[in-house]
Amino acid sequence: MLDSEPDRSTNLLFSTKSLFSHIDFTNGAVAAVSGGSDSTALLLLLKRHFDRTAPSAKLLAVTVDHGLRTNSAAEAQAVAKLCAERGIAHRILAWSGRKPSTGLPAAAREARYRLLAEAARAEDIGLIVTGHTADDQAETVLMRQARDDGRESAEMAGRGLAGMAPATLYDWREWIVRPLLDTRRSALRDFLRCEQVGWADDPTNIDEAFERPRVRAALAGESVEHMDDALLLAAQAAVERRQLGANAADLIDRFASQPIIGLIRLDPCLLSSDDDRAAVYALRILLATAGGVALLPDHARSEALFGRLKDGFLCATLSRSVIDFRRAGIFLRREARGLPPVATITDNAVWDGRRRITLNDRSDPFLIAPLGATAAKRLAVDTGKTPASLMRAALAAEPALRQVIENPGLPQGDPGSPGFASRPLVSPFARFLPSFDLAPARAVAGLIGASPLPLPPWRGHSAG
């Protein structure tokens, strides 16, 4: 942690090794710089670190202008001026288009990361660095703690209260790294004063119409110990969350298989694995994956479902997934209801939250729809111990060309087409994968044949 006393803030000039030495900057980094104190200090510290340790690596500062305030363009230009003075490449990206009337902070966050990722891809950089601080972490933990109504306290203690991860994989491609999570905002501002560099204060940061500014104001009136307690809680919950994920990954490796694409089989021995909490967590991840949803199913409902599975055979639905427990095993697949309609697909599009579609070299558009039960019946399937009806039901929910679906002479054994490729996604982690959850994400990716995870952003590639 960086010292926050003003007369010792110059120590920051020599602390970049401890801040950044664990991060692999071989291919450069995109620094998200809004012009506020946290991101401005991050940029200068990164510049110092790159100059000393990786002078040939590219550092690109990116400012996202959300266009939500009259001063935002001027603030972006101020960052550009600072970067020009310090010899740092800089780009301003604007969030264009209509802004939502509700959920604006979340929409702005999504737009910000999308634009940062686009900038990183354009430069072939796989690393985005943000200036989230210990203050931000404490606020996040207290916000999540306030939302806990007691019904899911075990779940919150194991996952939500861990706060922000030190790294998050975005869109299964770029790593978002937060090296300042142990650093207080006051220390960064002391550093900027020593550097004689100013910063912009975003008025929305004190607008108590939003949740985070309300929590920030409340923290400002509390003792330092209150923030320390929140950070300690986050650290303890992070350890528990990683362990829960490791245990769930072990259960997935031991008890889950994929008889055919779109169909997951669980060995009933999972129900007596002596770790119900990890088993329920594994079940939730697999249900979300099979159903193509970004959020894990409700914890209480998942626990209830797990209890019903222990009682014996059943057929139920949760998170767009069918759970079918029969003598051959426990099977999960996408339910037929609510599948996407026939639509023109574009390259690299996500279909039904479950598949990433890549097109071949043809320039004409493709019309893609679920294969459907009628076409699936024409497929030859090698069932083994898996009922053919379950395999065909799973294949019926897979994407296929409309002309293939409508062709009575559909080739046996292949629901797809040479016109495109369909790659499975680990749906709950496809957009944002916190480093806490790497173990279960890897397990599910291996199970369903998703693209391998890129290497972690740490030197030595530890899980983080």
What does pTM read for this prediction? Answer: 0.89
CA distances from 357 to 76, 375, 400, 423, 425 (A): 36, 20, 11, 7, 10
**Beta strands at 399-401 and 349-351: parallel, antiparallel or unpaired:** unpaired
What is the helix (H) or strand (E) element at residue 3, kind and residue range? none
By C-alpha distance, which of 88, 111, 94, 106 is closest to 30? 88
**Model confidence pLDDT, tens digit, residues 134-186:** 999 988 888 887 766 544 444 544 578 999 999 999 999 999 999 999 999 99
Of 236, 232, 278, 233, the C-alpha closest to 253 is 278
332 and 322 in contact (C-beta within 8 Å)? Answer: yes
In terms of C-beta density within 10 A (0-12 exposed, 13-18 middle, 19 or more buried), how is residue 362 classed? exposed
Residue 274 has pLDDT above 70, yes or no: yes
Q: In this structure, what DSSP letter does residue 458 have?
A: B
How many other C-beta atoms can be found within 10 angstroms of the C-beta atom of residue 336? 13
Tell me how far CA of residue 104 lies from CA of 76, 98, 101, 201, 207, in angstroms: 20, 11, 7, 19, 13
Q: What class does CATH assign to 6-131+179-222? A: alpha beta
How many Å apart are CA 349 and CA 246, to the nearest integer?
Answer: 31
pLDDT at 208 over 60: no
Interatomic CA distance for residues 80 and 90, integer angstroms: 6
CA distances from 355 to 94, 251, 334, 420 (A): 29, 24, 12, 12
Q: What is the pLDDT of residues 93-120, one digit of tens each?
A: 999 888 888 888 889 999 999 999 999 9
DSSP state of 427: G
Query: What gap in Å lies between CA 125 and CA 279, rounded to an integer?
Result: 37
Task: Domain ranges for the chain, please list them.
Answer: 6-131+179-222
**pLDDT for 224:** 63
